[in-house]
Amino acid sequence: MKELTFTNGRLKYLEGSLEANPSFLIEMDDKSQWISSGYAFVENTEKATVRFRCGDKLDELLDSEWTTMDSVTDASSMFLGCKNLTSFEADMSSVTNASWLFSRCKSLVSFEADMSSVADAFEMFDGCLNLTSFKATTTSVIDARWMFNECKNLVSFKSDMPSATNTSWMFNECKSLTTFKANMPLVILAYSMFNKCESLSSFELKIPFTADTTRMFNGSSLLANSNMTINIGE
């Protein structure tokens, strides 16, 4: 472990930490501790220990073990940039904010969880290039903008989102997405929702006729495929 002297405290740097993973602990002169997620510093409280546990080296330093998220409500950015995370299965029934939760988790392949309370899913899986399997309850999601942005290996999505109001860019550049089926009766904005979804071939969506669907299928093969059945209802 390397130690560097700062004017306002001591910085402990853990060698071998990956880019964007938690790697720093600062001990301030007033004895408070701060840890880094790789992007911002937060006070080292019990909540923060849970929030940034994805770096193995940080776990060793803080000795923070946990097995459930049943008391977590704000999980935003919890696993942001955890490049070695390959799968996730947990009880997320209390989580309401999942924005950026798995953003840039480039090795994440599968996700299965109870998301029944999640309202904010903004960029939840942004840049999860290898995500292929998604199984979750999405009944409370309101903001789904950029939710699966650049999930280039995601093949299918079948999950009703009866509370969603904004799904703009939701599947941007999901180039392997072939199957989509969902009921979204409250959607207001669906701008570029399937932008550059080059493989989309099976599609069923129910949204209001009043929804803004501008450029909804921009760069998609959907409209060019004569075998497609599009069901956009009330």
pLDDT digits (tens, 9 = 90+) for 193-205: 999 998 988 888 8
Q: Is residue 169 within 8 Å of residue 190, measured between CB atoms?
A: no
Mean pLDDT within 118-134: 96
Q: Is residue 29 within 8 Å of residue 15, measured between CB atoms?
A: no
Pair of tokens at residue 167: 């799904």
Give me the residues paired with residue 180 across strands. 157, 203
Whole-angstrom distance, CA of residue 71 vs CA of residue 111 = 20
Q: Which of 47-61, 77-91, 145-159 has the lowest mean pLDDT?
A: 47-61
Instruction: Give 152's pLDDT tier (boundaries 50, 70, 90).
Output: very high
Instruction: Give 17's pLDDT tier (boundaries 50, 70, 90).
Output: very low
Identify each DSSP E strand in the chain by its residue range: 2-6, 9-13, 24-28, 33-36, 41-43, 87-91, 110-114, 133-136, 156-158, 179-183, 202-206
pLDDT value of position 93? 84
Residue 223 has pLDDT above 50, yes or no: yes
pLDDT value of position 134? 94
CATH homologous superfamily for the domain 69-234: Ribonuclease Inhibitor (3.80.10.10)
Whole-angstrom distance, CA of residue 24 vs CA of residue 34 = 8
**13 or 121, which is more confident?**
121
pLDDT value of position 42? 52
Whole-angstrom distance, CA of residue 118 vs CA of residue 107 = 23
Mean pLDDT within 69-93: 75
Whole-angstrom distance, CA of residue 196 vs CA of residue 177 = 10
pLDDT value of position 208? 87
Mean pLDDT within 131-136: 94
Q: What is the pTM of this model?
A: 0.72
DSSP secondary structure letter of residue 146: T
Largest distance between two CA atoms of the chain: 69
Q: Is residue 174 within 8 Å of residue 152, measured between CB atoms?
A: yes
Identify each DSSP E strand in 65-117 by its residue range: 87-91, 110-114
Range list for CATH 3.80.10.10 in the chain: 69-234
Give me the residues paired with residue 130 across strands. none
Q: Is residue 170 within 8 Å of residue 191, measured between CB atoms?
A: no
CB atoms within 10 A of CB 45: 13
Q: Which residues contact 152 (CB under 8 A, 6 or more apart)?
A: 129, 173, 174, 175, 176
Instruction: Give 1's pLDDT tier (boundaries 50, 70, 90).
Output: very low
